[in-house]
Amino acid sequence: MLAAHLDPLAASIFSLIAITSMLLSFVMLGSRWLKDYMYAFGIQSWLIALLSALVGYYGHYPELYLIAIFTVLFRGLLLPYLVLRILRRLHVERELHLVVQPSTSLIIGAICVIFALVVAFRISVAIGFPENIVVLALTVMFTMKLVGFLMLSVRHEAISQILGLMLLENGIFLGSQILIPGMPMLIELVVLFDLLVAVACFGVLVRYLLARVGSTSSLELRRLIG
């Protein structure tokens, strides 16, 4: 495993990127402005692309450069552009109906981090790789997963839900590039597929707006119950 024999400089850079990405997901959690979500997501995607390139360099996986380029193109540029365009068209700037205040959701997020850390630590001990970078990669992967689900459940604007979904997958990318850089073919395909999901989401969204002009809040989606 690459993470088991990594030189200290690379390990610290990886850790820095992982921790920054995790903090960016807290930026998404703590803000109620949709544009903030979008910028945080964009920066996070660029960081992950940088991480792929670095892992490719240190671990001698040339395919990862290609994946870095894909990540930047799709998740770093195209998706934020699409989101911005939709934001402009919808005139939605912020979450209007907050189920949970940002401060409260930050605290719940912090609890998620602690939980993720405990799980990650136990796993890394069980498999006999208690290196910091392994624990950190697992922690960040689980945290972003949990925070993504938190965003999906406490935010109601359609845009936040799409970004929450993307956040779920960013976490997996980040973790998998540190833990299993040897799985490139799959990741590559998944990157492409994510874009398709996003495009499909937007397609549904736009059609939905055609059917019921006005609100994009999922609080309005309450016809089908029981």
Partner 1 sequence: MATYCFIIILTAPLVALAGVLLLRRPRIAEYLNLLASIAVFAAAVPLPFLVQTPLFFWHDYLFMDAFGCWVALCTAVVYLLASIYAVGYMRLLNEDKKLPGFYALFAGFAWSMLFAAFVNNAGVFWIAIELTTLVSTFLVGFEREAESMEAAWKYIIVVSAGISIALLGTVLFYWCGSLVLGPSYAMTWQTLAQAAPHLNPMLLKLAFLLVLAGYGTKVGLAPMHTWLPDAHSEGPAPVSAMLSGALLNTAMLGIGRYLAITNAAGIGWLPRTALVVLGILSVFVGTFFIVRQEGVKRLMAYSSVEHMGILALGFGFGGVLGIAGALYHMLNHSLNKSLMFFGAGNVMRRYGTKEMPAIRRVLREFPVSGLLWLAGAVAITGAPPFGLFLSEFTILRAGFSGPNLWAAVVMLVLLIIIFIGFLNHFRGMYFDKRPETVPQGATISAWGVVPMWLAVIPLLILGLWWPHGLTQIFGGIARMLTGAVS
Query: With respect to partner 1, which residue has the nearer C-beta, 103 or 222?
Result: 222
Residue in 134, 173, 172, 120 with CA at minimum distance from that of residue 3: 134
Q: Which of residues 143-162 bind partner 1 (CB under 8 A)?
A: 145, 148-149, 152, 158, 161
Q: Is 210 in the site for partner 1 (CB under 8 A)?
A: yes
Distance CA 189, CA 125 (A): 32
Quick check: 1 binds partner 1 (CB under 8 A)? yes
Beta bridge pairs of residue 157: 217
Query: Counting contacts by CB under 8 A, is residue 95 touching partner 1?
Result: no
Q: Which of 23, 111, 183, 219 touches partner 1 (CB under 8 A)? A: 183
Whole-angstrom Cα distance, residue 118 to residue 99?
A: 28
Confirm or reject binding of residue 75 to partner 1 (CB under 8 A): no
Q: How far is the CB of 17 from partner 1 (least distance, A)?
A: 18
Alpha-carbon distance of 24 to 43, in angstroms, equals 8
Q: Convert residues 21-40 into a mask of x (bound to partner 1 by CB under 8 A) and - (unbound).
A: --------------------
- 140 closest CA partner among 178, 89, 180, 185: 178
Q: Is the dihedral of CA 22, 152, 123, 127 positive or negative?
A: negative
Note the residue count of the chain: 226
Contacts of 134 (CB under 8 A, 6+ apart): 3, 4, 120, 124, 178, 179
* 130 near partner 1, rule: CB under 8 A: no
Residues of this chain that bind partner 1 (CB under 8 A):
1-2, 122-123, 126-127, 141, 145, 148-149, 152, 158, 161, 164-165, 168-169, 172, 175-176, 179-183, 185-186, 189-190, 193, 196-197, 200-201, 203-205, 207-208, 210-212, 218, 221, 223-224, 226
